[in-house]
Amino acid sequence: MRQAEKRRMRNKSRKSEIKTYIRRFEAALQRGDRDECEVYLAKAVKALDKAAGDGILHKNNAANRKSRLMRKFNALS
């Protein structure tokens, strides 16, 4: 139980980090700041890939989230 709790807290932290990057990306998108969008998009994609690799998120869930972010970013252009 102690081990499961440690892992749960670690996973929760990683998921929160991903959500933060996505929120910052969307905020930059609203402002129309393309450079800042690129930075947070890259961070979000990297965090999603790592989370999928570590089993925190399912690989398809990570792929779907990345796809949605890329679509939003490409619409900015």
For the chain, list the domains and their CATH numbers. Answer: 2-76 (1.20.58.110)
**Average pLDDT of the residues in 3-9:** 97
Question: Closest by alpha carbon to 73, among 17, 32, 43?
Answer: 32
Q: Mean pLDDT for the chain? A: 96
The amino acid that residue 7 corresponds to is R
Question: What per-residue confidence (pLDDT) applies to 77?
Answer: 74
pLDDT band at residue 68 using 50, 70 and 90 as cut-offs: very high
Quote the tokens at residue 27. 């905020």
The amino acid that residue 51 corresponds to is A
Residue 57, sorted as left (phi over 0), alpha (psi -120 to 50) or beta, turns out to be beta
pTM exceeding 0.85: yes
Instruction: Dump pLDDT digits (tens) for 17-48.
Output: 999 999 999 999 999 999 999 999 999 999 99
